[in-house]
Structure 1
Amino acid sequence: MKAGTISRAAELLGVTQPGVSRAIAELEKSLGFLLFDRIRNRIVATPEAKLFYAQVQASFLGMDTLRATAARIRDHGAGQLRVGSLSALGSSLVPRAVRRFRDRRPDIAVTLMVLPSRDVRDGVASGAFDIGLAADEIDVSGVLHQPFVQPRVLCALPLGHPLSEKELIGPADLHDLPFVAYVPEDRARQRLDRIFAEAGVKPRIVVETIYAATVCALVAEGVGVGLVSPYAVAGADPTRLVLRPFEPEVQSRSLLILPLDRPKSQLVRDFIDCLMEAR
């Protein structure tokens, strides 16, 4: 197809002309259709041959891509990093880690997905993510896990809220106030519910959500007050929120999770270093 003639093909391949003719005949027999018509001592590719040749070219391009990928993995590692993160860290700590990582490995593309913790866990377990950050209420079977950060939560108040006059917020301050809460299965929500029950107070829950960023946005809109991780407020508008310490202490705990039975690549090790530095 490239050479145009059997004789030229034989020269390029370093074989005899009969050898090329036999190879063509064997391929035609194997395929079940003719590749060339013989017209006035010339060979002309059939329509079927042109279709088949297009697929052959695509296959060779695919092989070239595989060779290039192998070289990139050999020289630079896996070539891309897939990270899943819960919302509370996905707008602050993880972007800082990505910036550090990109400074050190500018040739590596990063995919960052901000998802509910259970979806992050499932993605890591299935191999869709190389590394994940999730809240501590996830099912940790099928993944490697270790504590990552457990910051003390803060009380988020709309700008101008009466409680913003106070330096410290306690359970009694939130009794019967409109409250933006996490969903009941959230561990921080469960710890907070116990604190409220022990204090004999009950905030008026007006919205439940799984996302820390949504809590901040709802508080900023004046829907209610909420308790959030300090990492979650990094992307919020500071001119619309007031943050105050909450007592007694409630921690928002997260885990660093990795696929089970898969050795950590050098890229994963490098990114974990960046995560630790960004805390």
Structure 2
Amino acid sequence: MATKTWHSLPEYQALRALMESGTTSKAAIRLGLSQSAVSRSIANLEARTGRILFERDGGRLRPTNEAAQLNRRLDPLFEALDRIDGPPEAAQETLRIVAPPTYAHRFLVHHIATFLKTNPHFYVSLEVSPSEDVIRGILEERFDLGLTGVELSRDGVKLTPYRTSSAVCAMASDHAFASRETIQPEDLDGQALIALTHRHARRAQLEKVLHGCRSTPHIVAEASTSFAAVDLAKEGLGLTIVNPFPVVQYRANDVVFRPFASQIEYRSYFVTPDHGPTPSIARAFMRHLRLHTATDPFSQKA
């Protein structure tokens, strides 16, 4: 039957103190013990392990290779003891964000990065989902904060206005309308148009505006996000009518935006649960966005 191994913390402490101080007198002072107690612990450890751990070198005790190896193996033990005896670790606060692609890609990514650089004790999880899933995710308490440009009022969800904006035409810099200050609905008659898909309520609103002035553009493509529609316009396929926020924040240098003379208006919202207080980390991120959202000529603070 194998002999059961036992361990003595005072012996391990004496080993480490003696290796770091070099003499039994200094090790004894460090541990608050007598020199004889330190010498006895080392002798017991050598007897128990069957190894010579220290050799005399002048007035000092020189640790052997066996002592160095044993001391390295003791590192996890003393690190664990430090964690037990030390101050409690601060819990890392997590912010779970959900947003549609137009908000998430580039715009939110940039602001999340700057938020975490100034708040390294926070942690952020970002989910990219359609606007309908943003509301559903908040209702199901899978997320703490959402962003959306769609008014989907539901019981249990609070919509806090963030930005307001009016419709714009986006187009490549060499488009025939790029030099105009404002685009009228009747100007679009016969023009190549990249439209948002019919699942967007704004598609029906745009069609009503165009029908009212007997303007019939030529729809060359459809896109499910403003992000994609603006990128298609940038490629020279035609122009598109979109909510400028937040696309203009990162597309102003390579796409031309012009006001579209219509009553189409947009609101961007923070989405939070309507029961109980909003988590402090969510409020902190909302403040961060409000403070650091760059100004642009097409949107304003709500």
Measured against the shorter chain, the TM-score band is 0.5 to 0.7
Q: Deviation of residue 95 (structure 1)?
A: 3.8
> What amino acid sits opposite 2:133 in the alignment?
D
Compared CA separation, residues 236 and 123, structure 1 to 2 (3 A) = same
Any residues of structure 2 matched to 1:12-31 within 5 Å, and which? none
Deviates more, 1:157-166 or 1:185-194: 185-194
User: Paired residue for 2:250?
Assistant: 235
Deviates more, 1:152-161 or 1:83-92: 83-92
TM score, norm. by length of structure 1: 0.67
> What amino acid sits opposite 1:181 in the alignment?
A
User: Paired residue for 1:72?
Assistant: 90
Q: Deviation of residue 125 (structure 1)?
A: 1.6
> Is 2:34 aligned against 1:5?
no
Contact persistence 2:156–2:275 (CA under 8 A): no
2:287 equivalent among 257, 273, 278: 273
Q: Deviation of residue 120 (structure 1)?
A: 1.5
Q: Deviation of residue 167 (structure 1)?
A: 1.6
Compared CA separation, residues 152 and 96, structure 1 to 2 (3 A) = farther
Any residues of structure 2 matched to 1:1-279 within 5 Å, and which? 5=4, 8=6, 71-73=89-91, 79-91=93-105, 93-230=107-244, 231-236=246-251, 238-239=253-254, 241-279=255-293
Q: Deviation of residue 72 (structure 1)?
A: 2.9
Q: Provide, for residues 131-190 of structure 1, a one-character-per-residue CA deviation record: whole Å limited to 9, x for no partner.
A: 001122435333222222221222111231111132210101111222111222423333
Contact persistence 1:137–1:187 (CA under 8 A): no
Q: CA RMSD in A?
A: 2.8
Alpha-carbon distance in structure 2 between the residues aligned to 1:212 and 1:113: 18
Alpha-carbon distance in structure 1 between the residues aligned to 2:95 and 2:148: 17
Alpha-carbon distance in structure 1 between the residues aligned to 2:168 and 2:262: 11
> What amino acid sits opposite 1:72 in the alignment?
A
Q: Deviation of residue 249 (structure 1)?
A: 4.3
Deviates more, 1:137-146 or 1:149-158: 137-146
Alpha-carbon distance in structure 1 between the residues aligned to 2:115 and 2:168: 29
Long gaps (5+) in structure 2: 10-87, 294-302
> What amino acid sits opposite 2:251 in the alignment?
A
Contact persistence 1:123–1:129 (CA under 8 A): yes
State the number of aligned residues. 213
Q: Deviation of residue 224 (structure 1)?
A: 2.1
Alpha-carbon distance in structure 1 between the residues aligned to 2:149 and 2:261: 21
Residue aligned with 1:252, SS: strand
Contact persistence 1:96–1:278 (CA under 8 A): no
TM score, norm. by length of structure 2: 0.62
Contact persistence 2:169–2:241 (CA under 8 A): yes
Residue aligned with 1:90, SS: helix
Contact persistence 2:190–2:217 (CA under 8 A): yes
Deviates more, 1:215-224 or 1:191-200: 191-200
> What amino acid sits opposite 1:201 in the alignment?
S
> What amino acid sits opposite 1:232 in the alignment?
V
Long gaps (5+) in structure 1: 13-69
Structure with higher Rg: it is: 2
> What amino acid sits opposite 2:143 in the alignment?
F
